[in-house]
Structure 1
């Protein structure tokens, strides 16, 4: 489904990612973890084609996208869904219009079909009769659900989640995590969940990959990952980050 081959990324003289090799299998859920500044968000942006690598290959199915222009990437992104950290809903649009936005931009569906898809996708994420509401009338958890409904409107083969639990209370976090699992099972999608929350990573993922100071230091099934002895991983499991200073205790 997704394959990164010796991917490097620099911004000017700053090397952000080094020699990343990673395969994400069709239908699996991969949690991509790391502390602030580790490079995990840059890795996400590379996979969805928002930026290009300095060197290396990025394969999405049969497309090697590392040098694709925006028009070429648009054709690939139709197969992707993206759930943004802060939902990224258009404040001036209703919920229904937010979910329908991509369908109106990239298809020739008539309004009846679009409304039907919007209603169906909102139903899948547990929201009904909200099409006419405005984003400022929604709770944080509801906004995340609307963002997910928009992401699955095209019935993508891959869904990317950028910090899906950011800013949510524990109860809502658990519901969103359960929804990630539900979407994977119902839609048989490949899911990439970028998070710094180990509880979320362990709960939703089949495998966990960890980026540390620009390098992929581990990628393993959850149980195996949790048994690893690498102190950088152990610190993360304790809810700590190792940056310039070593974790104490």
Structure 2
């Protein structure tokens, strides 16, 4: 689904990513972990084309998106869903209008069809009948669910999650983890989850990739990842979130 070849990223004199090589398989859930400032969120932004690498290629199936014109990227993004760290809902819009936003912007669907899709996706994320609520009436976990409903409105092939458990209590974190798992199974999508939460990564992922100071230092299945002897990986597994602070 996604192939990252020799990707580097610098901001001025600061190298944030250094020669990353990674393949993400069709239909899998890959968790990308690392401490604050490790480069994992930068890699996510590169994969959805919000930034362009200073070196290397990023293949989405057979297309290199690393330096693709914005118009072509916009068309490809219709096959991607994005769940942002802080949900990124429009506070002035209802839940239904938030979920419908992309459909109204990028399709010629009738309002009746849009309403049907909105209702269906809200049911998928466990929020039936919430179309008329406002974001200010929602808990943090509910906002994440609405953000996911918006992300899957187009029927994407890939869903990207940026720190989905950030700011949530342990009970709600477990619920969001289960939602990521059920969404992957129900829709058959490829999921890429950027997180610093090792427990969540172990729970949801088929494989885990770890970035440390801009370098990819480990990629393996969950079971094998636990047995890696690299001291940086072992420290992260113990909950010592090593790495440079942002």
Shorter-chain TM-score range:
over 0.9
Q: d(CA) in 2 for partners of 1:131 and 1:12?
A: 44
- The one-character-per-residue Cα deviations of 1:175-206 (angstroms, maximum 9, x if unpaired) are 10000000000000000000000000000000
Q: d(CA) in 2 for partners of 1:164 and 1:15?
A: 26
Aligned-residue offset at 1:61: 1.2
Q: What are the ranges of 5 or more consecutive residues in structure 1 without an aligned counterpart?
A: 245-249
Please name the residue that 1:203 is paired with.
203
Q: d(CA) in 2 for partners of 1:18 and 1:118?
A: 41
Q: d(CA) in 1 for partners of 2:148 and 2:32?
A: 18
- Residues 151-230 of structure 1: matches in 2 within 5 Å? 151-230=151-230
RMSD: 1.0
Aligned-residue offset at 1:68: 1.0
CA contact (8 A) 2:37 2:243 kept: no
Q: What are the ranges of 5 or more consecutive residues in structure 2 without an aligned counterpart?
A: none
- Count how many residue pairs are aligned between Structure 1 and Structure 2: 245
Q: d(CA) in 2 for partners of 1:241 and 1:187?
A: 33
Q: d(CA) in 1 for partners of 2:144 and 2:242?
A: 30
Q: d(CA) in 1 for partners of 2:243 and 2:137?
A: 39
SS of structure 2 residue aligned to 1:211: strand
Please name the residue that 2:53 is paired with.
53
Aligned-residue offset at 1:147: 0.3
Aligned-residue offset at 1:14: 0.8
- The one-character-per-residue Cα deviations of 1:152-197 (angstroms, maximum 9, x if unpaired) are 0000000000000011111111010000000000000000000000
Q: d(CA) in 1 for partners of 2:222 and 2:242?
A: 20
- The one-character-per-residue Cα deviations of 1:72-107 (angstroms, maximum 9, x if unpaired) are 110110000000001000000000000000000000
What TM-score do you get using the length of structure 1 for normalisation? 0.97
Aligned-residue offset at 1:242: 2.8
What TM-score do you get using the length of structure 2 for normalisation? 0.98
Q: d(CA) in 2 for partners of 1:32 and 1:44?
A: 9
SS of structure 1 residue aligned to 2:49: coil
- Residues 14-93 of structure 1: matches in 2 within 5 Å? 14-93=14-93
